[in-house]
Amino acid sequence: MDGLGQNSDNGLLVTHVNQTQDLLRLQGSETQSSDWEDSEDWLSAHSLKCQKLTLADLISQGTAVLEEGTNVVQKIRFSTQIIHYFESKLSDTIELYQQRIQWLTENSKKAFGLIKGARVSVLIDVSSVGSGPQKEEFQKDLMSLIDEQLSHKEKLFVLSFGTTTRSLWPDPMEVSASTLRELKLWVKTLQPAGGSNLLQALKKIFTLKGLDSLVAILRSCPDQPSEILSDYIQQSTMGRDLIVHLITYKCDDQMPPAVLKNLAEAISGYYHCYSPKMELYTSRDVDELLAEIQKAQSLLGHMQALQHSSPCEALTCTMEEISTEIAKGPLISLLPKPPKHDAPLTIEFPNLDKTSAEWLKVNGLKAKKLSLYQVLAPNAFSPVEEFVPILQKTVSSTVYEKAMIQFEWHDGTVKNIHVDPPFLYEYQRQLSRTMRMYERRIEWLSLASRRIWGTVCEKRVVILLDISATNSMYIIHIQHSLRLLLEEQLSNKDYFNLIAFGSTIESWMPEMVPMSHDNLQSAWRWVLNLRCQGSRNVLSALRKAVEVDFKDKDKHQSQGIYLFTGGIPDQDMPTLSAYMAEACGGCDLQLNVCLFYVGEPKMDTTPPACYASRTDTAAAYREVTRAAGGRFHWFGDTGIYESDDINSIMSEMEKALNYSQKSVKDDPDREKSLPLKSPKWRPLSSRAGISPAAAQPVKEGMMERRRKTRSREAETSLSLFYTETGNNVGSVYKKYPQGRGVRRTSSSMDLPRKDTVCSSQEWVAKYGLKKLKLEISRCMGPNCTHQKSGQRSSSARHCSIFPSIEIHGVVRHIQWTPREMEVYIRCVEKVLRCYVQRLQWLLSGSRQLFGTVLENRVCILLDTSGSMGPYLQQVKTELVLLIWEQLRKRCDSFNLLSFAEGLQLWQDTLMETTDEACHEAMQWVTHLQAQGSTSILQALMKAFSFHDLEGLYLLTDGKPDTSCSLVLNEVQRLREKRDVKVHTISLNCSDRAAVEFLRKLASITNGRYHCPVGEDILSKIHSLLTKGFIDEKDPTLPPFEGDDLRRLAKEITKARSFLWQAKSFRSQLQKKNDAEPKDMLS
């Protein structure tokens, strides 16, 4: 009691236990040091530059000794006091940095880093929460994060995400004791939720306002590629002061630290990697401190060398490194450099980009059939003038005055055009969508290395670098520009080389070398040692590239020279143009010029060998690229001044705008009416018709319907007569309208065999309901406007001729006879039986596990990692069946390859399919064992090396041990060289992330995804497939995962729907026929 009485209670003795803990925590926070301030602010206040401990500060305190008779600095002398002072200060600073790093790797900062911002949103990935000790450890770390860091924030918003998202509160909440308790309880309820849909979680967060910090805690690789996430975050945070933290928690095996760093750097955010197994605690804060420590240790090493080199206390020794650099001239080491300028390259695997001209061949207005003249051509008619003998004069057509407008064609002629407004409105919308696509293309061309180099599209590339003396102050910019190119665009090329030129030529390699990771790193190290000197000898550099690197230019395709220069060359431009025109003629070689503008050269210094203004320089190089069939790209520090790639897109956009304006002029009511409104419309005859506003905006279909309507009206004859009752009028058809195509439907259709070897996509394209013309819509007539409006005019009496039915709120006539409906039902039943037999065949034999093998030369890739243990025996059995049932019967050659941590090949090449080979393969299969990880990328790269390979069949139960996006990008690059389809088979459909990866892998190679049907589902649908779909109440087919099964099941479901509708229509027709005799008798 006495002890308690000596200290005041500080208001803690009468509070609730939880409140006491909160107050104690708040009380402790008041005594925390300045360590909790932002790392950037802390580092800026304690950096070597701020404390004046850099090399430049050391030089400023030394005494310069000049060479006799000149002003050249020969050496610099330092006193021992200066050396001791710098040594002491650097040692203290290094110790301070190490203490800071130690503090950053304690408690919650070890797992999640230092969270910045006051109003924080936290995204928690629960795709791999699991259970047991791992789950408890994760929850414990989250509790530590809440107590140590989140409790000191102003507002909080938390959201968990897996396949779907789940938030604790609808809006950000003020931090209080109750909200923190609620948050802790919520953390304890976290459960696994399938995939890792980070993009959906980000979309939810970016709709909230008032937040200044975003924390994403990842426990697995996100479902979306990092490129998509990076672009979305950049677009969503533009104009918002939002700090982004990306944290990986024990998932470095799925998302390597390098991938996380690249993503964080792309969005200017913070990254943190936590992996206790590998003792990995990497973050941006720690990396910045380590870089500062490295600088301090390097300078400290110089200080210690100086201290031991001279025993004299009054004067000291000469610092040879500094004096040598000063005597040499330009101090490149003192020029400002971007972060990690000297670090190794971070190489990406890009797609094979296209020039805008090639891109427009697929996405241009003409390619997409959106040219105004293409759209109007079906309804454009030339004015007609003919001599009429009866009138004895020439008569010209004037129909356009009432139904058409006159339009000037692209060849200068005038045509009469008729287009319905809904069609023009739809055309306007399509043009708008295309314009947005073009805008995205221009934005893409203006980002990253494409802003500097444009798109490097060729497969064999030589880069010419201008390192003349006039570029001395910009050598860092030149190096950084080339670094971006090496990292982002060159990794998918076949061969490359670098040539630097000033007065003389310096080549990285004597000739072009194959593309590889090591060669790219070697080229970058070579670039870092370049020094600017001399004039600008462009012709010599071009001759080296053409006559040495491209000496066999006639034997290869897709070759390009990229000239990166900042001024006019030493030689005359006509000479360069003539030389390149001759060199590039008759072969696939182009010269592309990347001109950078850094300002006019200062004429008070040594002038360049040749001088021209920037506009004259651009015009000269533009002429050279035209002569060599290349592209011209001109940029500066303020942006892109001119680019042929962007100009091509801009030209297409102007064309689209012109078409849009002309189409508005074609419709004078466009500005007076809304897009969905139509002008006044009168039917062409007394029959009820369809308003153009309700018609589909597809021109060909609309004109075809009109022609059919006219032909039927011409052949239809209606006779009117007076009835005996009053003046009522009756009518009867003398001629009936001709039947449509379905009326000629015969039950003797040619249907395929169930075991036709093709994909379901191809099978349905040939034998689907649409191809067989068995859509139920063919029995439908026009909309019944009378029953819809409730009007009963004399023409409405014709509704009694055809029965009607209401479909989706619209009354439609059935214009088939009962006999025609009966024929249709028999045809659909026959087709449905054929579909069911096909489905049974797909679910039988080796096709149940592996699907249908389509190609003649194939390789089977089998996952034998540790996780495959439960499935391996079944897979072995089915693989033996596959060898004899499909490979032996249908394939010319095949190979087998199993992969885990390494590769195990049956044979080194594809083997001819013989009985002996199949026996050997069967023996090889029996010795397979499951162990190790899942090296899918290594297996795919090996399989792609097989000669004459046509198809790969990859069977696995999960994702690769590397990044999914890395595998996809690499396969896409490999497929650009080899047209090989990759068909994927998943044994674990519950892992949605793995399923999504395998779907994408199959999709980018035009392959198919397959997932075997479980025994429980097979037992459920066995009786259904055996007896067929007899009753409407029969259950529906399950949602199959595999592409072949799902596509066929979709067609079966559609056929069942058509069959039940047809039977319903048949019963209505029978009821109407039964009712007609009664009406006549009454």
* CB 200, CB 237: distance < 8 Å: no
Q: What is the pLDDT of residue 665?
A: 53
**1059 or 250: whose pLDDT is higher?**
1059
Q: How many CA atoms lie within 13 A of 634 on its CB side?
A: 17
Please write the tens of the pLDDT for every residue from 177-192: 888 988 888 888 888 7
- Give the mean model confidence (pLDDT) for residues 1059-1079: 73
Distances (CA, A) of 305 to 49, 127, 308, 311: 22, 55, 5, 12
Half-sphere exposure of 502 (CA within 13 A, CB side): 14
What is the predicted pLDDT for the residue at 711?
A: 47
Structure tokens at 1001: 């892998």
Buried b (16+ CB within 10 A) or exposed e, 627-650: bbebbbbbbeeeebeebbbbebbe
| Tokens coding 497 | 């080389």
- Look at residue 1044 and give its three-state secondary structure: helix
Q: Is the pLDDT of residue 103 over 50?
A: yes
Q: Which of 850, 870, 854 is nearest to 862 (CA)?
A: 850
Q: How many CB atoms lie within 10 A of CB 873?
A: 11
What is the rounded CA–CA span in Å between residue 569 and residue 549? 21
Question: Which residue has tokens 């390597």?
Answer: 256
Residue 860 has pLDDT above 90, yes or no: yes
Residue/partner pairs of 46-50 with CB below 8 Å, 24 or more apart: 46/93, 46/96, 46/97, 46/100, 47/292, 48/93, 48/292, 48/295, 48/296, 48/299
pLDDT tens digits for range 710-741? 444 444 444 444 444 444 545 444 444 444 44
Amino acid type, 748: S
Sheet holding 414-417, edge to edge: 380-381, 414-417, 405-408
Quick one: which of 817, 813, 814 has its CA closest to 786? 813
* pLDDT score, position 1026: 66
Give the Cα separation of 243 and 205 in Å (integer).
13
Is the model more confident about 820 or about 719? 820
Q: Residue 238: is it exposed, middle or buried by C-beta count within 10 angstroms (0-12/13-18/19+)? A: exposed
Sheet holding 810-814, edge to edge: 780-783, 810-814, 804-807
Which two structure tokens, joined as six digits, stand for 1057? 């729907």
Q: Tokens 């990859």 identify what position?
A: 954
Per-residue pLDDT of 336-376, as tens digits, reads 667 777 788 888 776 657 888 888 888 888 888 888 777 77
Separation of alpha carbons 292 and 285, rounded Å: 11
Q: CB–CB of 506/500 below 8 Å?
A: yes
Instruction: Say whether pLDDT at 5 is over 80.
Output: no
Contact in structure between 645 and 443 (CB atoms under 8 Å): no
Of residues 829 and 321, more confidently modeled: 829
Q: Reply yes or no on whether the pLDDT at 898 is more than 80.
A: yes
State the Cα torsion 419-423-424-427 to the nearest 10°.
-130
Instruction: Judge whether residue 257 has pLDDT over 90.
Output: no
Residue pLDDT, tens place only, 987-1010: 888 888 888 999 999 999 999 999
Q: Return the pLDDT at 256.
A: 62
Span 39-66, average pLDDT: 74
- Contact residues for 1072 (Cβ-Cβ < 8 A; gap 6+): 803
What percent of the chain has pLDDT above 70? 73
Q: pLDDT digits over 769-815, tens only?
A: 888 888 887 777 666 655 544 444 434 444 555 666 666 666 777 77
Cβ atoms of 100 and 136 closer than 8 Å: no
- CA atoms of 1076 and 1082, how far apart (whole Å): 10
Task: Give the integer Cα–Cα distance in Å for 114 and 283.
Answer: 9
Q: Which residues of 421-440 are buried (b: 16+ CB within 10 A; e: fewer)?
A: bbbbbbbbebbeebeeebee
The number of beta carbons lying within 10 Å of the beta carbon of residue 416 is 20
Which pLDDT score is estimated for 121?
A: 92
559 - beta bridge partners?
Answer: 460, 589
Radius of gyration in angstroms for the set of CA atoms belonging to the chain, rounded to a whole number: 38
- Looking at 950-1014, list the stretches that DSSP marks H as alpha helix, in order from N- to C-terminal side: 964-977, 992-1004
Given a cut of 90, whether residue 49 has pLDDT beyond it is no
Q: Are strands 270-275 and 559-565 parallel, antiparallel or unpaired?
A: unpaired
* For residue 703, pLDDT beyond 60: no
**Strand pairing of 280-283 and 804-807?**
unpaired
pLDDT (0 to 100) of residue 224: 82
Judged against a pLDDT cut of 70, whether residue 745 lies above it is answered with: no
| Cβ–Cβ < 8 Å for 108, 138 | no
Residue 463 has pLDDT above 90, yes or no: yes
- Look at residue 17 and tell me whether its pLDDT is greater than 50: no
pLDDT number for residue 697: 36
Rounded mean pLDDT of the chain? Answer: 76
Highest-confidence range of 251-265, 783-797, 973-987, by mean pLDDT?
A: 973-987
857-863/243-249 β-pairing: unpaired
pLDDT at 880 over 90: no
What pLDDT does 500 receive?
A: 93
- Name the band, by pLDDT with cuts 50, 70 and 90, for residue 3: very low
Its sign, for the CA torsion 326, 331, 334, 340, is negative
Three-point CA angle 1064, 1070, 1074, nearest 5°: 145
Task: Give residue for tokens 């990842």.
Answer: 218
pLDDT at 946 over 70: yes
What is the residue type of 112?
Answer: F
Percentage of the residues of the chain whose pLDDT score is greater than 90:
10
Name the pairing type of β-strands 393-396 and 857-863: unpaired
pLDDT at 250 over 80: no
What are 818's two structure tokens?
Answer: 């009962």
Chain segment 495-552, per-residue pLDDT in tens: 999 999 988 889 999 899 998 888 999 999 999 888 888 888 898 899 989 988 888 8
* Closest among 257, 241, 225 to 346, alpha carbons compared: 257
Contacts of 285 (CB under 8 A, 6+ apart): 39, 104, 113, 114, 270
Residue type (1 letter), 200: Q
What does the pLDDT average to over 873-888? Answer: 88
Is 231 or 746 the better-scoring residue by pLDDT?
Answer: 231
Strand partners of residue 407 = 415
What is the value of pTM for the model shown? 0.38
CA dihedral 773, 777, 783, 788 (to 10 degrees): 170
Confidence of residue 1040 (pLDDT cuts 50, 70, 90): confident
For residues 742 and 526, the model is more confident at 526
What residues contact 739, with CB distance under 8 A and at least 6 apart? Answer: 820
CA atoms within 13 A on the CB side of 700: 3
* Dihedral class, residue 194 (left if φ above 0, else alpha if ψ from -120 to 50, else beta): left
Averaged pLDDT for residues 866-878: 86
Measure the CA–CA gap between 917 and 877, rounded to whole angstroms: 17
Instruction: Confirm if 661 and 655 have CB atoms less than 8 A apart.
Output: no
Which of 949, 788, 938 lies closest to 863, judged by CA? 938
Characterize the bridge pairing of strands 589-597 and 559-565: parallel
- State how far the Cα of 535 lies from the Cα of 329, in Å rounded to an integer: 17
pLDDT computed for residue 1020 by the predictor: 73
Give 636-680 pLDDT, tens digit per residue.
877 788 899 899 989 888 888 888 777 665 444 444 433 333 333
272: amino acid identity, one letter: H
* Residues 6 or more apart whose Cβ sits within 8 Å of residue 693: 421, 422, 676, 677, 678, 681
DSSP assignment string, 30-97: HT--GGGS-HHHHHHHHSTTTTT-SHHHHHHTSEEEEPTTSS-EEEEE--HHHHHHHHHHHHHHHHHH
Spatial neighbors of 175 by CB under 8 A, at least 6 apart, are 150, 151, 152, 153, 154, 155, 156
Sign of CA dihedral 758, 759, 762, 767: positive
